[in-house]
Amino acid sequence: MKFAATGLAAVLALTAVPVMAKPKPAPVAAAMPVEDQAAALRDDALKSNVAYDFLSELTTRFGPRPAGSDRERQAAEWSATQLKALGFQNVHIETFPLHVWARGGPETIAITGEFAQPLVGVSLGGSTAGSVEGEAVMYDTWQAFLDSKADVTGKIVVILQSMAKASNGSGYGRMSGTVRAKGPVEAQKRGAVGFVMRSLSTDGDRFAHAGASIWSDGKGIPAMAISAPDASQLGRIEALQKAGKAGPLRLQMTTTGQFLGLRTSQNVVADLVGTEKPEEVIVVGGHLDSWDQGTGAIDDGAGIAITMAAAKVMIDHNFKPKRTIRVVFWGSEEVSQPAGDTTETGGGAFREAHKSELANYVAHAESDFGADKINNFSLSPTDDAAFVTKLGNLLYPLGIYNDAKATPEGGEDSGAMNGFVPAFDLNQDGYRYFDTHHTPNDTLDRVDPQQLNQNVAAWTATLWLMANTDIRFKLPLKDEK
Ligand SMILES: [Zn+2]
């Protein structure tokens, strides 16, 4: 499935090279200005298959990689071997403990009684295993549920609110931290025996989207997301109820996920060690773990493949950065959301383990928004306007502009260093990301190799410029501690 990409098409026309040709480093004089070197890396990245090949083998070999699972650990060990073979230095695995949640087997949700029929659902991360049947109380929005004074004791709360589709993913952020994170606990507080929500989804496929909710120590209630078409079906039943044409809706749900206790997860760390200022580190990466329904191609095998390949292009040119470029394959991103600031995430564990070094770190960023093209970049404040202009000029041929108004935040993992290390962002087009995100449809088939390479080109040029300058970025004002 191809995605229209006018900007990228323009780039490919400009560079006039076959995208899938074998990588062959262009001859580049060491005495070239840094921005010319960065441009050479950028153009070479457009011809490379490294990211796609890595992503293909990772997703094929390991499939789903839930946080704290054997598959996540095996994928981490395999990744470390690959990184060493690709020429990275200091490759190692850093383990950390986390409370592991896992689905135990098939789950079901169905309407019983008057409208009896099966629905498509998946339990939310953190849900309790259990089987409940009860009257459903439906709310059109999360706010309507919060405002409602209705007694839901012994009932199943259903939130039918749909998610807005937007290139920057703003519709997701608005709802993942509210209805999905807090819904189950809030419903339980009011006496409900189950919680159901419309998936955080922007397409009409009959897949339910998994995702984390605030966990409840195994004492919570069964909580599920249903597919968008199933939520629409319940909405029509609600309309019939309001018209006096239908009685109460009854649902039966069986969930199998539960917490398995304290286990371990791990970050895979690999460096291109800086030749002049090795202690000045730029941390980039993506997360290796994934939800259990798909093979974690767009979320987030693509992110680790993109950032790894960006550094690999430098290795292929025998380009050695002055500052250290550190690529981290973060562990345990998914189930830990939305707990945020915890050491049971790859990001939180890394921050704690490396706290004494962070004052020297120069910048952090993450690729964790799929595999589609990058639209814009944002940098932490710097006094060096010429640097920002140089980067803008380098990325412009890729169809990428400077979003000067945005405050960079890094990713869900690297963002654990916000307040300590300045962030920068290379923002991807997320218009179709939430069509697939956290579903069985998150597979390699959704990845467009040309757009993936546009990402690698942007990352390699950006990193080369940042790793070979003396300028220091600053923390955004709101981040200063
Ligand atoms: Zn992700």
Tens digit of pLDDT for each residue in 255-303? 999 888 889 999 999 999 999 999 999 999 999 999 999 999 999 999 9
Gap from CA of 464 to ligand 1 centroid (Å): 25
Domain-embedded: residue 1: no
Residues 29 and 125 in one domain: no
Gap from CA of 345 to ligand 1 centroid (Å): 12
Tell me which residue of 155, 152, 210, 219 sits closest to 180, measured CA to CA: 210
| CA–CA gap between residue 45 and residue 342 (Å, rounded) | 36
In contact, 194 and 157? CB cutoff 8 Å? yes
Gap from CA of 369 to ligand 1 centroid (Å): 7
Residues 214 and 288 in one domain: no
Domain-embedded: residue 330: yes
Segments forming the whole domain that contains residue 87: 6-99+261-479
Gap from CA of 440 to ligand 1 centroid (Å): 15
Residues 244 and 303 in one domain: no
Tokens of 454: 């546009």
Q: Are strands 277-287 and 363-364 parallel, antiparallel or unpaired?
A: parallel
Domain-embedded: residue 382: yes
In contact, 378 and 407? CB cutoff 8 Å? yes
Gap from CA of 17 to ligand 1 centroid (Å): 32
Tens digit of pLDDT for each residue in 308-342? 999 999 999 999 999 999 999 999 999 755 444 57
Gap from CA of 174 to ligand 1 centroid (Å): 16
Gap from CA of 349 to ligand 1 centroid (Å): 17
| CA–CA gap between residue 119 and residue 122 (Å, rounded) | 10
Gap from CA of 480 to ligand 1 centroid (Å): 26
Gap from CA of 134 to ligand 1 centroid (Å): 34
Residues 205 and 294 in one domain: no
pLDDT at site 219: 79
The residue type of 143 is Q
pLDDT at site 416: 94
pLDDT at site 29: 55
Gap from CA of 241 to ligand 1 centroid (Å): 39
Gap from CA of 368 to ligand 1 centroid (Å): 5
Q: Are strands 156-159 and 223-226 parallel, antiparallel or unpaired?
A: unpaired
In contact, 225 and 239? CB cutoff 8 Å? no
Gap from CA of 99 to ligand 1 centroid (Å): 19
The model's pTM is 0.92
Gap from CA of 421 to ligand 1 centroid (Å): 21
Gap from CA of 295 to ligand 1 centroid (Å): 12
Residues 267 and 225 in one domain: no
Gap from CA of 165 to ligand 1 centroid (Å): 17
Gap from CA of 154 to ligand 1 centroid (Å): 35
Gap from CA of 224 to ligand 1 centroid (Å): 20
CATH number at residue 213: 3.50.30.30
Residues 239 and 121 in one domain: yes
| CA–CA gap between residue 479 and residue 406 (Å, rounded) | 14
Of 239, 256, 273, which residue constitutes the final position of a domain? Answer: 256
Gap from CA of 182 to ligand 1 centroid (Å): 20
Residues 235 and 348 in one domain: no
Domain-embedded: residue 95: yes
pLDDT at site 480: 52
Gap from CA of 403 to ligand 1 centroid (Å): 22
Q: Which residues of the chain have pLDDT under 70?
A: 1-30, 216-218, 336-341, 477-481
Q: Count structural domains, the chain.
A: 2
Domain-embedded: residue 470: yes
Gap from CA of 300 to ligand 1 centroid (Å): 5
Residues 351 and 415 in one domain: yes
- What does residue 332 show for φ and ψ, rounded to 5 degrees? 55, 55
Gap from CA of 113 to ligand 1 centroid (Å): 39
Residues 223 and 304 in one domain: no
Domain-embedded: residue 388: yes
CATH number at residue 77: 3.40.630.10
Of 223, 241, 256, which residue constitutes the final position of a domain? Answer: 256
